[in-house]
């Protein structure tokens, strides 16, 4: 009888130990999930503080309407002036490295490769604003597709959605 009682106590203690292990794994898994979620949200909130610069590549691309739309959303840190990079890219040297570029597309602009290289070196997301079907130059597409944080938008609403998505993953 003593022998059966000791086996029963052993099985009872193993059951308690089993449940304690299951509970510990569940709590630990939940804590890891919450930690990763909070880390992701903190990174996103930090990225929303990035400065958003509007860059025009020609006098034809004003970008004022798009800048006003993005600024009125109130979620992004939009800079007040629109920078002109039609002549050279020296203007980019004075801009903050934790930022995002929204560039008005011009078919005659020849410095897109250098612009993308500059953004890649500082890990800056670039959004090209162009009309539907406006980008015909394959060299421009090659430069845009060669950088993971570069996207093309063709409407103002799409521009805000792409900006939000890019800032979520950078």
State the pairing for strand pair 51-56/77-84.
Answer: parallel
* Predicted confidence (pLDDT) per residue in 22-38, tens digit: 889 999 999 999 999 99
pLDDT at 96: 83
Q: Is the dihedral of CA 19, 23, 26, 28 positive or negative?
A: negative
Burial class of residue 127 in the structure, from the number of CB atoms within 10 Å of its CB (0-12 exposed, 13-18 middle, 19+ buried): buried
For residue 20, what are its two tokens? 């304690």
pLDDT at 148: 92
Q: How many Å apart are CA 158 and CA 55, to the nearest integer?
A: 17
Quick one: which of 99, 82, 92 has its CA closest to 48? 99
Residue 7 predicted with pLDDT over 70: yes
Average pLDDT estimate for 40-52: 90
User: Which residues lie below 8 Å from residue 147, measured CB to CB, with a gap of 6+?
Assistant: 116, 119, 120, 126
* Predicted confidence (pLDDT) per residue in 55-105, tens digit: 998 877 788 889 999 999 888 999 888 988 888 788 888 888 889 999 999
Residue 112 predicted with pLDDT over 70: yes
């Amino acid at each position: 009888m003593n022998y059966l009682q000791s086996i029963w106590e052993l099985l009872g203690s193993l059951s308690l130990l089993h449940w304690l292990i299951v509970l510990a794994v569940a709590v630990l898994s939940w804590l890891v999930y919450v930690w990763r979620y909070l880390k992701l949200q903190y990174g996103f909130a930090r990225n929303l503080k990035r400065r958003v610069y509007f860059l025009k590549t020609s006098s034809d691309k004003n970008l004022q309407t798009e800048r006003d739309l993005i600024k009125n959303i109130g979620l992004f840190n939009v800079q007040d002036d629109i920078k002109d990079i039609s002549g050279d890219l020296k203007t980019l040297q004075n801009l903050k490295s934790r930022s995002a570029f929204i560039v008005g597309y011009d078919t005659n602009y020849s410095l897109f490769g250098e612009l993308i290289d500059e953004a890649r070196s500082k890990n800056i997301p670039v959004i090209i604003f162009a009309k539907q079907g406006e980008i015909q130059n394959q060299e421009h597409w090659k430069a845009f597709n060669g950088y993971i944080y570069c996207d093309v938008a063709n409407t103002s609403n799409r521009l805000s959605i792409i900006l939000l998505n890019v800032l979520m993953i950078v």
